[in-house]
Structure 1
Amino acid sequence: MRQTRLRPSGCICAAVLFCLIAVTQSATLAGVTEIEHVRFGLDVVPILTRLGCNGGGCHGKASGQNGFMLSLLGFEPEFDYRTLVLEDRGRRVFPADPDRSLILLKATASVPHGGGRLIDRSSDDYRLLRDWIAQGARPPAKDDPSIERIEVSPAESILGMNHTYNLKVTAYLTDGSKRDVTRRSVYQVNEPGVAAVESDGTLKTQSKPGLVAVMARYGDKIATFRGAVPFVSDTTEKRRIESELDGLESKVSKSMVNRLLFRQWKRLGIIPSPPADDATFLRRATIDICGTLPTPEEIAAFLADSSPDKREKLIQRLLDRPEYADYFAVKWADILRNRGGGYSTSRQRAGTTLFAGWIRDSLADNKPYDRFVAELLTATGSQAENPPTVWYRAVRKSTDYVESVAQAFLGVRIQCAQCHHHPSEAWSQSDYYGLAAVFARVGRKGGFADAEVPTDETIYLAERGEIRHPRTGEIELPRALGTGPFRIGPSDDPRIGLAGWMAEPSNPFFPRTMVNRMWAHFLGRGLIHPVDDARSTNPPTDPELLDALAADFAANGYDVKRLIRTIVTSHAYGLSSEPSAGNRGDSQTFARYYPRRMTAEVLLDGISQVLEVPTPFPGLPTGTRAIQLPDENVAAPFLDIFGRPARQTACECERVDAPSLNQALELVNSAEIQRKLTAPDGLATRLASGASSPEEIARTAFVRILGRPPRPDESKTAVAYLASEPDRGEACRSLLWSLIATSEFLFNH
């Protein structure tokens, strides 16, 4: 028989059911006055959440499960009440005999249930659900107290390995009362290798040290516990490490970053690796800032420089070089989706070239970051007059506006809130569509249609434009995340209000996201990781450091080059990448430099540089480097194999740095690398045809490719190989190729 959904109004069955509930409620309460008043939104919904009933894999998914639908994670209690109590002829609850209610029979598996048995009849969850039904299955009432906030205690703690701890969750209600909801909360741990958490709030640490966070949810509120499991547990050893760290700290600059780094290392009992040598630091900084390898002349000059501040001077020189703007323009072109692919013609190239040039010029001029973003968001006119309008070519729909802005500039992945309340954050559908309303009046005209995307068009502010909430149908007013509607007139551009909100020093997202993005670029991992996924369940590993950097960035006019200098002159950035006994296993505190493979463009340019043969790119002048390409649609198979992104989203995760078989095969069989090795005017030919000795050839190859002279054993092996090979040209090519294929070359370390 086909099931019919009942509606609370105009339905005889529902009216009869309400009468039955009312009568039963009076009778029930008369006999069980000792039972507390169980409230649907405050007590029942959190149980459904904890048991997973309203999860995305069960009744909370868009289509429900087996004819029964709940709102995802209980964010709509009124809807849940109607479906639970009124639909399906009210058979899910039976106040006259609560134990025969279908919801309890299913949950205890007394009748077949696809989710299996979820509770026992003796459990607190069963008692609460039964009491609610016995009390008449009250609906949510406007005067019911709601959850104002929850707190986990302790909020943070130093933990020992292989120990058990009890967390307590307290809910604070709007009527001023509070209650212990530890056993009714949902828990999630972010580092299962460090600790695990049970359903009753029991935290059990493992044998792995590190930082761990536990998210506790009760109803629609979230709180987080932060724990640190030190690398050592012996008290005497802890004191020795702290003394050693005090000695190290006294020898480094007293910067804010260093002070907070050392505080974290002391907290965890972790000793950082020693500083990297000068040759390694030069190569590292040159790659990270300019996307370029140092030349033999630069290496010789830097190693010969004995001034104590030579690293600081190096950083300033690198920031002043044009390659800095070229390199970071690629990064921002990825994030801002300056995309040339997906079109039926190449006529979009003019726009992507102009946009790439605007990004590059902004970086070279050290344009304040808040102004850079404001010019982008509020861009009007044509691409020829105002290149930032090209951003609106890829970002065209309400979903594009919201998700690109939130992820690129606020570090928030808000996609979930398009359809329902965000499962792990405070973002609702109203937040999502309020941000979409900021762009509701973006108008477009002119241009020509190329595939489905107009390639050249004029962006303007239309007189009208609105966004309606998909569930309520109400018009959403323009607003930023977590704020009220903008106070603007009918002729004002809401995008200006958004840009102004972002630039406020107190903004909780904007400066933190940029700081975190730059920290991840230079240190290999964000303080929040991934960099564009800030949420309660993914807290920063060092929130004090992140907040301090963000406050400093905002207070100093969003000066990007100053931010980079702050990060690159930190003690953490100058450390060796070699793990030591005191930090082996660390991946969160930056007690050593985390090696990472060079990006596709930097790697291809690096091979071209060391072999002295440029890479040809179709349609572009000879000598154009990969970090200077106007968009991702320039044909270069090497770049695609090594992770060049398609620029379809604002997520940095599109750029793939994981190794693959195709990459290994490309290094072995690349026609482009072979062309460079055999070029008549390349390094290999010059070394083979010159009068250099095998020792000189080996030194030249190591310095050019690895940025350092060969060690004695390496020199001996290379010289022996060169001397034994009858074909000098083949010997030189093989030596150069073998060094290019090493991890030491492929990785920035």
Structure 2
Amino acid sequence: MFRLLYEQNSITRNYQLIWMIVCLLVSGQGMLDAADKTPALAADSAKRKVYFTTDVVPLLTRLNCNSGGCHGKSTGQNGFKISLLGFDPAMDYSAIARESRGRRIFPGDPDRSLLLLKATGLVPHGGGRLLEADSADYALLYDWIEQGTAGPHPDDPEINKIELSPGNRVFQQRSSLKLQVTAHFSDGTQRDVTHQSIYESNYPEIGKVDQEGLITTQSRGGVFAVMARFGEKITVFQGVVPYHSKGQQKLTGYPSEEQLSKIDQRLVAQWKKLGIQPSKPVDDATFIRRVTLDICGTLPTVDEVRLYLADSRPDKRERLIDRLLERPEYASYFALKWADILQNRGSGYGTRNQRAGTMLFSAWIRDSIAANKPYDRFVTELLTATGRQAQNPPAIWYRSVRSTPDYVESVAQAFLGVRVQCAQCHHHPAERWSEDDYYSFAAIFSRVGRKGGFADAEVPTNEVIYLKDEGEVHNPRSGKLMQPRPLGGPDFKVSRFDDPRRKLAKWMTSPENPFFARTMVNRMWGHFFGRGIIHPIDDARSTNPPTNSVLLDELAYDFAANGYDVKQLIREITNSYAYRLSANPNKTNAEDSQCFARYYPKRLSAEVLLDGISQVLDVPTVFPGGPGVFPEGMRAVNLPDENVRFNFLDVFGRPARTSACECERTVDPALSQALELVNSKEIQRKLTDKNGYIELLASNQKTHSDNVREIFVRTLSRPPRTSEVETAVKYLNSEKNRHEAYRSLVWALLATNEFMMNH
């Protein structure tokens, strides 16, 4: 055999011959034994044609060969690089069959191929043993090599879709179900690819899945999804696991139909399916604090709390919500939220002359919200903005969002709820988006022109945004010229006189758009409930399905049907039965973190917390202007940008506004926050200010008991319990210094979770 190969006069064959000899010397008799067995296996296996794209590549994905931690990473592994998750079969074929003079493949004797020797561990392999010599996967690779190692060809069948069976199910705890995946190909054939697929659960603590598609539910309830992937196609299975065990007595105590809105009906239906009861509704004091913080980002005053508690009208909640939506604090609070998402950033530039622009942009956002500008119009004015910042403030958005990645990723995440960053370099690993999708979307902004501004600035502060006559975007990998096309939408036909951004805005704000309304209602739901129906709120994909799709679809339909009226959307959410539920769990919903059978407490954001402390202590914060001076009494919520140096805000999670992701704002606890509460010079200044609330308490003629009752309503928005009054009065009587006593009492209440959380 060696002599015949040698006589073929081929450099590649000679190289393979040398490699085979080395392998024989290294592996010895063990490899010869494997070689004796495998041809028989190959002969017995079905000899259908093996295609590289639809057979070999999915197997490499299943074996993790092309994962980001192995040969699929940008630098490859040990000199061997293939595309991440097999999204470039032509590149993969070249790397496997052609690179290094074809040393990885040996068609004359497939068993001697380095591809198989390493996979079976007969030659040292950093990834360990991946295949057994008598496995079906080994036989598939063997057949492909034996059939001549054909590469991708335009006439090869493609995968049209994959289907999962059985369909979505309700499980019992500690039960199992085997999934089956069927692939449908462009030549009309279909095949069971269960073994060749890969699986992943989004909540393995509820339902986990193994490599063969076997789902096993755990000892807790909830909603979970399993992604199945074969080649480039993805499908999702959803499961529901009731929280109660089989045979448990039927639960009662759900609200009557008369109490329920459409929102609540969808939620109650899911609670019944999960076997959980909602927590009881909160009292009036908790509700006014919750809804005032959520709508206005401020604490209710003592008078507001007392008037609401004394109000006996049956529609007092609806009246309260309507009043809050008309207050200027509502517009300021949600303007802060949108300034984060729209990256109204003042820092990180080569000039400090950014403040005029950020103030104009912040004011435009706030005025739009105060006027209840329809959401579709708000987004359209932003995306299509042209001109100078002084004449058209939304044009300032293009100061931060100015590159190809910025356009695609900011617009997709802010308004479509899609995280498409991965597709800049490769096909999205958990969604349908490709590089062509990414750069076609970027082409919509290819004619955005800029002129003017400060030439020495990293980002001009007063540039003019205009529409250029021409502009192109090419896919950097293929070099192909991309036509303007939105994600999941049609190609735009545009002339030099058309603005592709206007076509984008029209497509995006159409009621039929599958992303726009859903993203906004999910964002608002997440704001009020602490988590989205899709969570994270701006990561909508088939592999991250909503926990209650019927609810989300209905909210989105109503939002579009009501003319994208944001205030009406807020009314629907805050007037719901679900929004009034207590944060205290019961026995059935203690583990629920997805389905809103109780209120999920959330820490106050940095600005709201600082303003709340200022409100209680009646001492405004003095912010450094940088440049200029802010007016006295400026609230943190009203700051025009994040470039106002203030340690308290940074410690408690103020975002840098470098992306459109709300995840930049953090509310996770940290040791630095506890230290800030103890050591903050600003808090100490407020506690000791001669014109503040502590001075008023220490100098008035009221009894300790009366003062304590007012302190509790002022800080926690509720009257104190009898035991709390007794404990506080006892402490105050024990202290000789009245100022210090009240200072310590109020500071202790400000440091409690009850004050720092919305609950």
TM-score when normalising by structure 2: 0.93
Which deviates the most, 686-695 or 37-46?
37-46
Q: Give the match for residue 305 of structure 2.
A: 299
**1:667 alignment partner, one of 677, 693, 717:** 677
* 1:483 and 2:489 are equivalent in the alignment: yes
Residue 141 of structure 1: CA displacement?
Answer: 2.5
Residue 236 of structure 1: CA displacement?
Answer: 4.4
Maintained 8 Å contact 1:249/1:262? no
Letter aligned with residue 244 of structure 1? G
Q: Give the match for residue 110 of structure 1.
A: 122
Q: Give the match for residue 21 of structure 1.
A: none
Instruction: Give, in whole Å, the separation in 1 of the partners of 2:46 and 2:118.
Output: 27
Instruction: Give, in whole Å, the separation in 2 of the partners of 1:234 and 1:211.
Output: 17
Q: Give the match for residue 411 of structure 1.
A: 417
Letter aligned with residue 297 of structure 1? D
Q: Give the match for residue 97 of structure 1.
A: 109
* 1:252 and 2:272 are equivalent in the alignment: no
Instruction: Give, in whole Å, the separation in 2 of the partners of 1:588 and 1:722.
Output: 44
**2:584 alignment partner, one of 559, 578, 581:** 578
In structure 2, relative to structure 1, the CA distance for the partners of 1:244 and 1:700 (3 Å cut) is closer
Q: Give the match for residue 35 of structure 1.
A: 47
**CA deviation profile, 1:231-250 (whole Å, cap 9, x unmatched):** 1123342xx21x433xx233
Pairwise mapping of residues 4-153 of structure 1 onto structure 2 (< 5 A)? Answer: 35-153=47-165
Instruction: Give, in whole Å, the separation in 2 of the partners of 1:728 and 1:425.
Output: 63
Which deviates the most, 413-422 or 85-94?
85-94
Q: Which runs of 5+ in 2 are unaligned?
A: 1-9, 16-38
For the residue of structure 1 that corresponds to 2:568, the secondary structure is: helix
Q: Give the match for residue 9 of structure 1.
A: none
Q: Give the match for residue 637 of structure 1.
A: 647
Maintained 8 Å contact 1:449/1:455? no
**1:209 alignment partner, one of 192, 212, 221:** 221
Q: Give the match for residue 22 of structure 2.
A: none
Instruction: Give, in whole Å, the separation in 2 of the partners of 1:556 and 1:177.
Output: 46
Query: RMSD of the alignment, in Å?
Result: 1.9
**CA deviation profile, 1:30-75 (whole Å, cap 9, x unmatched):** 9889511111111111100000111111111222222222111111
Letter aligned with residue 155 of structure 1? G
Instruction: Give, in whole Å, the separation in 1 of the partners of 2:13 and 2:323.
Output: 79
**1:694 alignment partner, one of 704, 723, 733:** 704
Maintained 8 Å contact 1:95/1:133? yes
* 1:171 and 2:183 are equivalent in the alignment: yes
For the residue of structure 1 that corresponds to 2:584, the secondary structure is: coil
Residue 344 of structure 1: CA displacement?
Answer: 4.5
Q: Give the match for residue 742 of structure 2.
A: 732
Maintained 8 Å contact 2:350/2:459? no
In structure 2, relative to structure 1, the CA distance for the partners of 1:744 and 1:104 (3 Å cut) is same
Equivalent pairs counted in the alignment come to: 724
Residue 510 of structure 1: CA displacement?
Answer: 1.1
Maintained 8 Å contact 1:518/1:564? yes
**CA deviation profile, 1:514-562 (whole Å, cap 9, x unmatched):** 1111000000001111111112322211111111111111121111111
Q: Give the match for residue 180 of structure 1.
A: 192
Maintained 8 Å contact 2:350/2:458? no
Instruction: Give, in whole Å, the separation in 2 of the partners of 1:349 and 1:197.
Output: 52
Maintained 8 Å contact 1:517/1:531? yes
Which deviates the most, 136-145 or 575-584?
136-145
Q: Give the match for residue 271 of structure 1.
A: 277
* 1:370 and 2:376 are equivalent in the alignment: yes
Letter aligned with residue 637 of structure 1? N
Maintained 8 Å contact 1:188/1:537? no
**CA deviation profile, 1:176-224 (whole Å, cap 9, x unmatched):** 2221111111111111211221111111111121111111100110011
Instruction: Give, in whole Å, the separation in 2 of the partners of 1:554 and 1:105.
Output: 59
Letter aligned with residue 152 of structure 2? P
Letter aligned with residue 638 of structure 1? F
**1:224 alignment partner, one of 224, 236, 243:** 236
Letter aligned with residue 70 of structure 1? I
* 1:496 and 2:508 are equivalent in the alignment: no
Which deviates the most, 81-90 or 559-568?
81-90
For the residue of structure 1 that corresponds to 2:642, the secondary structure is: coil
**CA deviation profile, 1:666-688 (whole Å, cap 9, x unmatched):** 11111111111111121111111
Pairwise mapping of residues 337-376 of structure 1 onto structure 2 (< 5 A)? Answer: 337-376=343-382
Instruction: Give, in whole Å, the separation in 1 of the partners of 2:267 and 2:162.
Output: 30
Residue 16 of structure 1: CA displacement?
Answer: 12
Instruction: Give, in whole Å, the separation in 1 of the partners of 2:293 and 2:750.
Output: 16
**1:458 alignment partner, one of 456, 464, 482:** 464
Pairwise mapping of residues 422-571 of structure 1 onto structure 2 (< 5 A)? Answer: 422-449=428-455, 451-571=457-577
Instruction: Give, in whole Å, the separation in 2 of the partners of 1:457 and 1:344.
Output: 15
For the residue of structure 2 that corresponds to 1:701, the secondary structure is: helix
Q: Give the match for residue 33 of structure 2.
A: none
Residue 139 of structure 1: CA displacement?
Answer: 2.1
Instruction: Give, in whole Å, the separation in 2 of the partners of 1:570 and 1:514.
Output: 18
Instruction: Give, in whole Å, the separation in 2 of the partners of 1:231 and 1:31.
Output: 51
Instruction: Give, in whole Å, the separation in 1 of the partners of 2:340 and 2:442.
Output: 22
Residue 14 of structure 1: CA displacement?
Answer: 7.9
Residue 696 of structure 1: CA displacement?
Answer: 0.5
* 1:647 and 2:657 are equivalent in the alignment: yes
For the residue of structure 1 that corresponds to 2:195, the secondary structure is: helix
Instruction: Give, in whole Å, the separation in 2 of the partners of 1:119 and 1:256.
Output: 54
In structure 2, relative to structure 1, the CA distance for the partners of 1:33 and 1:230 (3 Å cut) is closer
In structure 2, relative to structure 1, the CA distance for the partners of 1:16 and 1:566 (3 Å cut) is farther
Q: Give the match for residue 679 of structure 1.
A: 689
Which deviates the most, 714-723 or 33-42?
33-42
Pairwise mapping of residues 619-630 of structure 1 onto structure 2 (< 5 A)? Answer: 619-630=629-640
Residue 13 of structure 1: CA displacement?
Answer: 6.2
Maintained 8 Å contact 1:299/1:707? yes
* 1:656 and 2:666 are equivalent in the alignment: yes
Instruction: Give, in whole Å, the separation in 2 of the partners of 1:111 and 1:401.
Output: 48
Q: Percent identity?
A: 61
Residue 96 of structure 1: CA displacement?
Answer: 2.0
For the residue of structure 1 that corresponds to 2:82, the secondary structure is: coil
Instruction: Give, in whole Å, the separation in 2 of the partners of 1:704 and 1:716.
Output: 18
For the residue of structure 1 that corresponds to 2:567, the secondary structure is: helix
For the residue of structure 2 that corresponds to 1:235, the secondary structure is: coil
Letter aligned with residue 180 of structure 1? D
Letter aligned with residue 405 of structure 1? V
Which deviates the most, 141-150 or 278-287?
141-150
Instruction: Give, in whole Å, the separation in 1 of the partners of 2:46 and 2:504.
Output: 54
Letter aligned with residue 228 of structure 1? V
Instruction: Give, in whole Å, the separation in 2 of the partners of 1:31 and 1:692.
Output: 98
Residue 572 of structure 1: CA displacement?
Answer: 1.3
Residue 450 of structure 1: CA displacement?
Answer: 5.3
In structure 2, relative to structure 1, the CA distance for the partners of 1:31 and 1:588 (3 Å cut) is closer
Letter aligned with residue 367 of structure 1? K
Q: Give the match for residue 161 of structure 1.
A: 173
For the residue of structure 2 that corresponds to 1:130, the secondary structure is: helix
Instruction: Give, in whole Å, the separation in 2 of the partners of 1:15 and 1:423.
Output: 37
Maintained 8 Å contact 1:404/1:649? yes
Instruction: Give, in whole Å, the separation in 2 of the partners of 1:523 and 1:207.
Output: 26
Q: Give the match for residue 23 of structure 1.
A: none
Residue 345 of structure 1: CA displacement?
Answer: 4.1
Maintained 8 Å contact 1:155/1:224? no
Maintained 8 Å contact 2:45/2:139? no
Residue 167 of structure 1: CA displacement?
Answer: 1.1
TM-score when normalising by structure 1: 0.94
Maintained 8 Å contact 2:172/2:246? no
Instruction: Give, in whole Å, the separation in 2 of the partners of 1:561 and 1:409.
Output: 18
